[in-house]
């Protein structure tokens, strides 16, 4: 299959060109091409690498914590239609048995997916601070320990890519280095840490931070907090760029401070993503969606109903970043976080043919996952 007459979005530029796909891989960019009877004329549209979402709980009325293969498959198909070609299903702070059931369903779903590719799992909790609970369920928060982690991860170690935890809670200083040694990315989140406590956690092995600004101590002029520690170090971070979780000026400040190399666009979407407004559930708690926001009954934001194409569109419209940098934050950076940067996240020979076709308004018309047309 040859994609011709497209504006190709690379990590550092956009240029007019063509590429060829064979057996699910990009085999040539701008030739030479082998004989191929199948051609797609882009007519000047963009051809982008597929998006990688490292933080998503659900979509299409289904949730990762359903513990059902069918739920994971539904999520994978719904988000693929919005440009997400690979993702990390994300769990919630719930009973250990429920988390393990979710892990089992994710592993089974990964074997034969019909939508976005599963690259691993993000555990959001249960080792978080009750003082920064957000939409997590305080009844299931656990004190971090190696034994508590192993009670969740036993038998699923190869699946777990990352975990969100509060670095200041008792036991975290022992668990963080253990997880780093195991190759698990430890992300600062749902935390009441001071600047000093957050920096100490980074020194122990925290390398990322979950939904920047949200459910963490803010930056002020005398108390820099967790946000200040994120800005003052080289760890990566992620943003929910829906205009609800973070104001546009605050997003612009974050992107200038961290640069597009150290930020990932994520959705933190829950089951209401792609569904009409109404009543839904997240982590066993009732959620109401209205006017683009998902909230608990107490008014706290409960994930989002954002999609990755909307996130790219929002950032492109509300910052001065060039489109190729915005796409990098939605694709290559997430692939690198998942250890898949050698095969996903950019247009390059030898890479998986996860491809998106979209117009100037970032309205997606075609999606290809490993060379197979999805829409």
Contacts of 342 (CB under 8 A, 6+ apart): none
- 123 phi-psi bin (left φ>0, alpha ψ -120 to 50, beta other): beta
With CA atoms as reference, report the closest residue to 245 among 303, 189, 187, 315: 303
Contacts of 1 (CB under 8 A, 6+ apart): 20, 21, 22, 36, 38, 39, 40, 371
193 is annotated as contributing to ligand binding: no
314 is annotated as contributing to ligand binding: no
172 is annotated as contributing to ligand binding: no
Residue 85 near residue 117, CB atoms below 8 Å: yes
Token pair 């982590």: residue:
283
303 is annotated as contributing to ligand binding: yes
Task: With H, G, I as helix, E, B as strand and everything else as coil, classify residue 33.
Answer: coil
Look at the alpha carbons of 280, 284, 285, 286 in this order and tell me if their dihedral is positive or negative. Answer: positive
295 is annotated as contributing to ligand binding: no
211 is annotated as contributing to ligand binding: yes
Look at the alpha carbons of 162, 166, 171, 176 in this order and tell me if their dihedral is positive or negative. Answer: positive
Main-chain dihedrals φ then ψ at residue 139, nearest 5 degrees: -70, -15
- The HSE-up count of residue 252 (CA atoms within 13 Å, CB side) is 10
222 is annotated as contributing to ligand binding: yes
Look at the alpha carbons of 345, 248, 320, 273 in this order and tell me if their dihedral is positive or negative. Answer: positive
Q: C-alpha angle 340/315/371, rounded to 5°?
A: 40
318 is annotated as contributing to ligand binding: no
269 is annotated as contributing to ligand binding: no
55 is annotated as contributing to ligand binding: no
Distance between CA atoms of residues 340 and 344, nearest Å: 6
Q: Helices marked H in 245-307 — which ranges?
A: 248-258
Distance between CA atoms of residues 357 and 373, nearest Å: 11
Contacts of 169 (CB under 8 A, 6+ apart): 127, 128, 129, 143, 144
Tokens of 72: 């994971």
Q: Is 268 a catalytic residue?
A: yes
- Determine which one of 63, 73, 98, 268 is catalytic: 268
190 is annotated as contributing to ligand binding: yes
Tokens of 337: 């976080």
Radius of gyration, alpha carbons of the chain: 20
Binding site, by residue number, is 124, 135, 190, 211, 214-215, 222, 245, 301-303
Query: What residues are labeled active site?
Result: 268
Binding site for Zn(2+), by residue number, is 124, 190, 211
Binding site for substrate, by residue number, is 135, 214-215, 222, 245, 301-303
């Amino acid at each position: 299959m040859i994609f011709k007459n497209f504006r190709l979005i690379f990590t550092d530029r956009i240029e007019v060109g063509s590429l060829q796909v064979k057996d699910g891989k990009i085999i040539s960019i701008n030739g030479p091409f082998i004989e191929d009877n199948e051609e797609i004329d882009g007519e000047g549209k963009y051809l982008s690498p597929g998006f990688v979402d490292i933080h998503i709980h659900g979509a299409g009325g289904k949730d990762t914590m359903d513990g059902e293969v069918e739920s994971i498959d539904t999520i994978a198909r719904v988000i693929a239609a919005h440009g997400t070609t690979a993702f990390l299903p994300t769990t919630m702070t719930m009973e250990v048995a429920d988390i393990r059931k979710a892990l089992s369903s994710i592993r089974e779903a990964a074997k034969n997916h019909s939508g976005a590719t599963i690259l691993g799992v993000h555990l959001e909790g249960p080792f978080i601070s009750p003082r920064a609970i957000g939409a997590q369920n305080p009844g299931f928060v656990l004190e971090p320990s190696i034994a508590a982690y192993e009670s969740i991860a036993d038998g699923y170690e190869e699946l777990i890519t990352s975990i969100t935890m509060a670095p200041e809670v008792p036991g975290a200083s022992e668990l963080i280095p253990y997880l780093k040694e195991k190759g698990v990315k430890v992300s600062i989140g749902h935390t009441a840490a001071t600047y000093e406590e957050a920096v100490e956690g980074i020194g122990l092995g925290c390398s990322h931070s979950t939904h920047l600004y949200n459910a963490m101590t803010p930056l002020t002029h005398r108390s820099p907090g967790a946000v200040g520690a994120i800005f003052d170090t080289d760890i990566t971070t992620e943003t929910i760029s829906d205009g609800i979780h973070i104001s546009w000026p605050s997003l612009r400040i974050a992107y200038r401070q961290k640069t597009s190399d150290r930020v990932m666009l994520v959705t933190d979407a829950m089951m209401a993503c792609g569904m009409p407004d109404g009543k839904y559930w997240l982590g066993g708690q009732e959620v109401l969606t209205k006017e683009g926001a998902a909230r608990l009954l107490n008014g706290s934001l409960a994930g989002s109903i954002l999609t990755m194409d909307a996130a790219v569109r929002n950032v492109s419209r509300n910052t001065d970043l060039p489109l190729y940098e915005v796409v990098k934050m939605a694709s290559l950076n997430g692939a690198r976080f998942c250890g898949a940067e050698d095969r996903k996240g950019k247009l390059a020979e030898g890479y998986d043919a996860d491809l998106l076709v979209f117009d100037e308004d970032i309205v997606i018309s075609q999606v290809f996952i490993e060379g197979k047309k999805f829409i």
